[in-house]
Amino acid sequence: MSAWACRGLSAHQGPFHLGPIDLELGRSEVVAVIGRSGAGKTTLLRTLAGFLPADAGSIGRDGTDLTTTPPEGRRAVYVPAGLALFPHRSVAGNIAYPLELAGGRADGPTVGDLLDRFGLAPLADRRPSTLSAGEQQRVALARSVAADPALLLWDEPLGALDLVAREALLAGLRTAQAGGGRPIVLVTHDPAVAAAIADRWLLLDGGRTAFLGSADACVARPPDPFAARFAGYANVLVPDDLARETGLRSLVADRAGNGGVATTPFIARPSDGEGGVTAVVDRRTPTPDGVRLTAHVGTLALELRAAADVGDRIRVGDRVAVNDDGTVVVPIGPTGV
């Protein structure tokens, strides 16, 4: 049974309209909200949190309608992109805030427990402004958990973290979620985060749901070019690209969807002048298994790769032959061309 359910949810912020959105969240589910800037990701989170009124539709938790419940009554903790740590309180003071509001909970964790759980005990007396970005994120996470939320809403929680800090916080998010069996909806621009922690991806486009499903489903058949890029494909060729570059079309057209085609890097080898698709190399980047090449066919940029022995013979400015041997090619969009 789902813990949270939005049905036909619509809202607006200024001239921007969100929805209708249908979304059900399981008890321990993590949903990554992805999409271009201005797609409505933050609007969705703010509407779920209660800071934007719903124009239509409903938000419910365990059968209770929360559509018009003010933010403080929803138990949906919203953490904005800037984290919004209280600058006049210490780390411990920030974490204590929701506990003070609740008048202390006999059964819940104490400030000390949370400081320990999130590795913040040595920083307890520090002000947020003196912490690193990763430390601040952990404080925001600990403060959110202190509020014993029924839903965590995180807007770009891993904005500016190095890899180590990201892994630490991903672990923290999993801990926070596992402890209370609470769903998490997080906005992220980081495919690695979405792939690592999210059970489902919600792709928004122009305020509407463009895709809602597993990361596997998104990778197997990206719903649109943005999703294809997000899923990690190196080349995203929309129908206009294929119409313009006839050589490429011959290479991949039979596998294109109505949104075009997404591919891992094509294979490059030095051109022997025998025809086929050729590209001119603009940039050459060595990788552990060969070289990665950025090249152009006409006005279209393409990502290519070559094994080490072949790549050694390719230089910037060279014309190379392009083929799809070993390249993964998937259609974009729900139906064929």
Partner 1 sequence: MSRRTASAVAQGLRAVLAGSLLALFVLPILALLLYPSLGRLLTEAGDPGVDAALAFTLYASGLALVLVLLLGIPLGHLLARSRFPGRSIVEAAVALPVVVPHLIAGLALFLVVGPGTPVGAALTRAGIPVFATIWGVILVMVYVSAPYTVLASELAFRAVDPRLLEAARSLGATPAVAARTVALPLALRGIVAGAVLSWARAVSEIGGFLILAYTVYPSGPYTGPVTSPLSVYIYTVFQIDLADAAAISALFVLIAFGLFVAVRLLERFGRLPWPSGELPL
Residues that bind partner 1 (CB under 8 A): 49, 51, 70-72, 75-80, 82, 84-88, 97-98, 101-102, 127, 129, 143-144, 146-147, 153
- Pairing state of beta strands 235-237 and 329-332? unpaired
CB of 292 to partner 1, least distance (A): 40
CB of 267 to partner 1, least distance (A): 48
Q: Which two tokens stand for residue 314?
A: 């390719």
What does DSSP assign to residue 4?
E
Nearer Cβ to partner 1 (87/317):
87
Nearer Cβ to partner 1 (42/235):
42
Nearer Cβ to partner 1 (154/233):
154
CB of 323 to partner 1, least distance (A): 52
- d(Cα 271, Cα 313) in Å, to the nearest integer? 11
Residue 136: φ, ψ to 5°: -60, -40
3-state secondary structure of 34: strand
Nearer Cβ to partner 1 (143/292):
143
What does DSSP assign to residue 129?
G
Half-sphere exposure of 261 (CA within 13 A, CB side): 24
CB of 126 to partner 1, least distance (A): 13
What distances in angstroms separate CA 139 from CA 128, 150, 157, 160, 261, one per listed residue? Answer: 8, 19, 12, 15, 42
Among the listed residues 83, 63, 64, the one whose alpha carbon sits nearest the alpha carbon of residue 155 = 83
Run of H or E residues at 185: strand 184-187
Nearer Cβ to partner 1 (153/297):
153
What does DSSP assign to residue 108?
S
Nearer Cβ to partner 1 (102/308):
102
CB of 86 to partner 1, least distance (A): 6
Nearer Cβ to partner 1 (130/285):
130
Please give the full DSSP string across 202-265, using - where no structure is assigned: EEEETTEEEEEE-HHHHHHS-SSHHHHHHTT-SEEE-HHHHHH-HHHHHHHGGG-BTTEEEESP
3-state secondary structure of 298: coil
For residues 70 and 50, the answer to whether their CB atoms sit within 8 Å is yes
CB of 98 to partner 1, least distance (A): 4
CB of 184 to partner 1, least distance (A): 14
Nearer Cβ to partner 1 (15/273):
15
For residues 296 and 279, the answer to whether their CB atoms sit within 8 Å is yes
CB of 131 to partner 1, least distance (A): 14
User: Which residues make Cβ contacts (< 8 Å) with residue 17, sequence separation at least 6?
Assistant: 10, 11, 55, 207
